[in-house]
Amino acid sequence: ASRTVAAAVRDALQTVVDTIDAHVDELGRMDSIAGDGDHGIGMQRGSHAALAAGVAAQEAGAGAATVLARAGDAWADKAGGTSGALWGVILNGVAGALGDTGTPSAAEVAAGIETGVSGVTSYGKAEVGDKTMVDALVPFTTVLTEAVESGASLPHAWGKAADAATAAAADTAALLPKMGRARAHGQHSVGTADPGAHSFALIVSALAVVLER
167: left (phi over 0), alpha (psi -120 to 50) or beta: alpha
Q: Is 61 left (phi over 0), alpha (psi -120 to 50) or beta?
A: left
Is residue 203 at the binding interface for ligand ADP, with CB under 6 A as the rule? no
How many C-beta neighbours within 10 Å does residue 45 have?
18
Confirm or reject binding of residue 195 to ligand ADP (CB under 6 A).
yes
| Minimum distance from residue 196 beta carbon to ligand ADP (Å) | 2
Applying CB under 5 A, does 180 fall inside the site for Mg ion?
no
Find out whether 5 and 63 touch, Cβ atoms under 8 Å: yes
Q: Residue 72: how many CA atoms within 13 Å on its side-chain side?
A: 22
Interface with ligand ADP, residue 39, by CB under 6 A: yes
> Shortest approach of ligand ADP to residue 43 CB, angstroms?
6
Which stretch, 18-26, 60-68, 143-151, 174-182, contacts ligand ADP (CB under 6 A)?
Answer: 174-182
Q: Could you count the other beta carbons within 10 Å of the beta carbon of residue 198?
A: 25
Pick 3 or 185: Cβ nearer ligand ADP: 185
State how far the alpha carbon of 16 is from the alpha carbons of 48, 68, 158, in Å: 9, 13, 15
Cα-to-chain-centroid distance, residue 85 = 11
Q: Determine the interface stretch with ligand ADP among 70-78, 102-110, 120-128, 143-151 (rule: CB under 6 A).
A: 120-128
* Residue 188 to residue 174: CA distance in whole angstroms: 11
Report in angstroms how near the CB of residue 3 gets to ligand ADP at its nearest. Answer: 33
* 8 Å CB contact between 13 and 51: yes
Q: Which of 143, 165, 196, 207 binds ligand ADP (CB under 6 A)?
A: 196
Q: Name the segment binding ligand ADP (CB under 6 A); options: 6-14, 54-62, 97-105, 195-203.
A: 195-203
181 binds ligand ADP (CB under 6 A): yes
User: Of 67-75, 82-90, 103-111, 204-212, which segment contacts ligand ADP by CB under 6 A?
Assistant: 82-90
Give whichever of 66 and 199 is closer to ligand ADP, judged by the CB atom.
199
What sign for the dihedral angle of Cα 114, 204, 68, 212?
positive
212 φ/ψ angles, rounded to the nearest 5 degrees: -80, -10
Footprint of ligand ADP on this chain (CB under 6 A)? Answer: 31, 35-36, 38-39, 42, 81-83, 86, 120, 124-126, 132-134, 179-181, 194-197
Footprint of Mg ion on this chain (CB under 5 A)? Answer: 31, 35-36, 38-39, 81
